[in-house]
């Protein structure tokens, strides 16, 4: 394993290999679930309203649990949380698979499982984010986040849905749901095999309740300029661009003479661009101007969205999707690495949950506003806002938080910062 390329260097650590395998199976399960759920609802003669209800409950569950998930991740071993999440997902999805295969399933069963899955997913992200730096040395965090950036679109957007569609076509939605539960059980098995890791809690921090822990997370966020400004900018970027990208883009493709196939091309380009850019950045070192680069890449990466409002060329839209997907994922890889390297380990679960919560909170707002805004200012106007507002917001965030001075004062390539980047990876490898 010593000769692995930099992008795969984290895999030389046995404990991380187990965590990465668990993550991959969890992502595959998510991809399978997306398509299995749709066709199970269709098989029950459900329509858009029923599918929207079932899918929406998942988002409600994540919003309801993620802040407390972050507090729990800073209190108890993250491995325990990941095992519990995988077991809950395995049991609930296996139940609806059995109900489907026996012809006893109803829409409310799917709704209940979707809500339970959302609650579990809200606990997963903070625990996973806090566990990674406990298993890896600082120099392997960037490639680890890059590896996740490659696996997520490949498994969630491509392999999982393709496998589920094949199972539905050849057998039934119940068979696809059974495969979903099997993948989740594999994720649970991998996490169970992980060695125990200590909870890295600040010994001087007072012990309070979960609400107090969440409050402390908010206080840390507000008092850390680079973190607060980046999250504020990223949230406004999501508000500006996610709605047009997901809601209005299909209509732009239609107006350009395209149909479902062309829509799929744009989505595929977005995912492929993100996977390739993740692989590239995982092979490089963290930029010296990491805060400036991250925010500018996010902001400027939205500019190609203006193509959907100004062009009627489908292939220009495909190219725009690829560039935006690549830029978005580059920023995400750097962002995940910064959280793991600059946020104190005792606070990482809570900060990760705040990141997840704010992103989730603004996403449905953007989706809800996209239609009315497009009726008010037209598709062209909506895409101009989506493409041109984020670069301006990025510059404002960089200047307001004095990020250039901050990143020079806190270089990350030179080694770990005292108290924030130490990792027991070496000890875990010897277990």
Find the range with the poorest average confidence among 21-30, 176-185, 256-265, 325-334. 256-265
pLDDT tens per residue across span 205-244: 545 566 777 777 788 888 999 999 999 999 899 889 988 8
Topology alike, domains 6-194 and 213-423 = yes
CA-based Rg of the chain, rounded to a whole angstrom?
21
Report the alpha-carbon distance of residue 281 to residue 100 in Å, rounded.
43
Identify which of 157-161, 238-242, 329-333, 397-401 has the greatest average pLDDT. 397-401
* The pLDDT of residue 393 is above 90: yes
Higher-confidence residue of 181 and 162: namely: 181
Give the chain's mean pLDDT: 84
* The pLDDT of residue 324 is above 90: yes
Report the alpha-carbon distance of residue 10 to residue 337 in Å, rounded.
13
Q: What is the mean pLDDT of residues 347-353?
A: 82
pLDDT tens per residue across span 94-141: 999 999 999 999 999 999 998 999 898 888 888 888 888 888 888 888
Query: Percentage of the chain with pLDDT > 70?
Result: 91
Count of alpha carbons within 13 Å of 310, Cβ hemisphere only? Answer: 12
Report the alpha-carbon distance of residue 340 to residue 346 in Å, rounded.
11
Report the alpha-carbon distance of residue 350 to residue 221 in Å, rounded.
9
CA 133 to chain centre: 17
Band (417; pLDDT cuts 50, 70, 90) = very low
Phi-psi region of 5 (alpha: psi -120 to 50; beta: other; left: phi over 0): beta
**pLDDT score of 431:** 30
Q: What is the mean pLDDT of residues 20-45?
A: 89
pLDDT tens per residue across span 365-374: 887 788 888 8
Higher-confidence residue of 429 and 53: namely: 53
3-state SS, 291-347, equals HHHHHHHHHHHCHHHHHHHHCCCHHHHHHHHHHHHHHHHHHHHHHHHHHHHHCCHHH
- Please state the domain extents for the chain: 6-194, 213-423
Superfamily of domain 213-423: MFS general substrate transporter like domains (1.20.1250.20)
Band (416; pLDDT cuts 50, 70, 90) = very low
Q: What is the CATH topology of the domain spanning 6-194?
A: Growth Hormone; Chain: A; (1.20.1250)
């Amino acid at each position: 394993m010593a000769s692995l390329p930099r992008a795969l260097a984290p895999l030389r650590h046995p404990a991380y290999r187990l965590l990465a395998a668990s993550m991959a199976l969890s992502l595959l399960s998510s991809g399978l679930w997306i398509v299995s759920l749709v066709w199970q609802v269709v098989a029950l003669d459900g329509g858009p309203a029923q599918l929207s209800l079932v899918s929406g409950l998942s988002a409600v569950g994540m919003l309801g649990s993620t802040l407390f998930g972050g507090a729990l991740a800073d209190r108890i071993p993250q491995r325990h949380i990941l095992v519990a999440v995988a077991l809950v997902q395995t049991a609930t999805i296996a139940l609806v698979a059995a109900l489907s295969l026996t012809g006893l399933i109803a829409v409310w069963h799917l709704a209940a499982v979707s809500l339970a899955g959302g609650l579990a997913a809200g606990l997963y992200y903070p625990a996973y984010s806090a566990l990674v730096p406990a298993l890896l040395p600082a120099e392997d965090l960037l490639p680890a986040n890059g590896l996740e950036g490659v696996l997520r679109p490949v498994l969630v957007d491509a392999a999982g849905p393709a496998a589920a569609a094949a199972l539905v076509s050849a057998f039934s939605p119940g068979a696809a749901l059974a495969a979903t539960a099997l993948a989740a059980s594999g994720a649970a098995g991998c996490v169970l095999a992980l060695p125990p890791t200590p909870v890295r809690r600040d010994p001087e921090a007072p012990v309070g309740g979960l609400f107090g822990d969440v409050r402390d997370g908010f206080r840390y966020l507000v008092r850390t300029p680079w973190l607060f400004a980046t999250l504020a900018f990223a949230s406004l970027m999501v508000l500006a661009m996610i709605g047009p990208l997901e809601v209005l883009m299909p209509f732009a493709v239609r107006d350009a003479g395209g149909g479902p196939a062309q829509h799929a091309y744009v989505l595929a380009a977005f995912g492929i661009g993100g996977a390739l850019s993740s692989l590239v950045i995982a092979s490089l070192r963290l930029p010296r101007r990491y805060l400036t680069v991250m925010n500018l890449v996010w902001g400027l990466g939205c500019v190609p969205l203006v193509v959907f409002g100004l062009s009627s060329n489908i292939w220009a839209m495909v190219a725009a999707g690829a560039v935006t997907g690549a830029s978005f994922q580059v920023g995400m890889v750097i962002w995940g690495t910064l959280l793991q390297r600059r946020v104190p380990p005792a606070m990482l679960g809570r900060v990760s949950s705040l990141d997840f919560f704010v992103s989730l909170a603004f996403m449905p707002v953007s989706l809800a506003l996209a239609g009315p805004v497009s009726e008010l200012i037209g598709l062209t106007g909506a895409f101009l806002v989506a493409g041109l507002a984020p670069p301006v917001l990025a510059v404002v965030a960089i200047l307001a938080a004095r990020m250039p001075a901050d990143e020079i004062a806190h270089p990350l390539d030179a080694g770990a910062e005292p108290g924030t980047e130490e990792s027991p990876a070496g000890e875990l490898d010897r277990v």
